[in-house]
Structures are given as C-alpha cells and as structure tokens.
Amino acid sequence: MTIRKVLTTPDKKLRSRSRELTMPEMKSAKTKELITDIYETLNDGEYGVGMSAIQVGEPLAITVVMIRPTPNRPNLNYYNQVYFNLKILKTFGEKKPMWEGCCSVLDDNGNLLYAKVPRYERIKVKYCNEIGEICTATVDGFLAHVLQHEIDHINGILFTDLIPITNIVSQEEYRKAQKSGY
C-alpha cells in the first residue's frame, strides 16, 4: 500500500483521456494494487470523496469513490465503490449547481479551490465492478455529482473548465459561503 502523489494543475497528464481496461487488466494484481493505493491516497486527505486513476498519473478508466463525512460535509453517509470504464448513459432533468473541489486543483499555497458546478441531479451510468460484472445504475444526489466529476477526469476535463474562472473561490471563501447557507 502506497500513498501516491496526486497530480495538480497545470500537469498536462490531467488533460489526457484515460483508456478503458480489458477484463484481464481489471482482475490483474497490478490493478488491484493501484486501487488499494488510490484508497490509501484518498484516506490520507480529509476532503476527497472520489479519485480517478489519472489523478495519480495512471491514464486508466478507474474511479474509486469513497464517500465519507468530511469537514465540509459532516453528514455524508459512507459509500465505497470501484468503477471501471465508467460512462454516462442518460441524464435526467436540469443541471443544478453544487459546491465541489478537487485535490488536483489547488491555489498557490496548496489549498483546495471550490466552485458551484452545475451537474445533473440524476444520471444512469454503465461500468464494470471489481468482479468484472457489467453494471448499470441510476444514481442521484451527491453520488451523481461525484460520478460526473470523476467521469470528467477520465475524459481530461477539470471542474474549472465548466464554470467561469470568476466563480472559483478559496477554501476560506468556501467555508464562509457554507456557514452563510450559500
């Protein structure tokens, strides 16, 4: 188990498209080790709830979601899932903004940056799970928001690409906004 270095902007690798894995690759010891490392890397930080392999320099369509209470969202329920080759099949309704940050998008002092990013509240996704089953699921709320963020990573897109730069705020400004109910 290794805590991996998380790539941050402006690293060009973050802009690359991740490739899908074959079934043998999904089940390989190397992939299992990478997944364990991603869990360890997420666990090392207090804010992250999801991470794609590209964020640790591996251009593979692997996403680890580890939702847990964070200082910014203390009421979250625990949820762990590994997604291979994650894709959106269908979106529902209008996009609604929700606060998000990213451990790959930091300010000059190494602090997370935040913005309200419009995402669909409900999506239908297709993926392979850790035992190689092809799955579809319709998810909503926070999980839908997290999956859309991670799918963007797989496609070389950062949340800062989806909003005007003037909407990006510091960690301190984000905390003030949270306290004021914004």
Per the listing, tokens 């996704």 go with 125
DSSP-derived secondary structure letter, 6: P
Distances (CA, A) of 13 to 20, 23, 35, 82, 173: 16, 24, 19, 21, 29
In whole angstroms, give the CA distance from residue 145 to residue 22. Answer: 26
Q: Which residues are catalytic?
A: 150
Exposed / middle / buried, residue 161 (Cβ in 10 Å: 0-12, 13-18, 19+): exposed
Mark residue 46 as left, alpha or beta (left: phi above 0; alpha: psi -120 to 50; beta: remaining): alpha
What residues contact 126, with CB distance under 8 A and at least 6 apart? 85, 86, 87, 89, 134, 135, 136
**Taking Cα atoms as reference points, which of 118, 114, 112 lies closest to residue 98?**
118
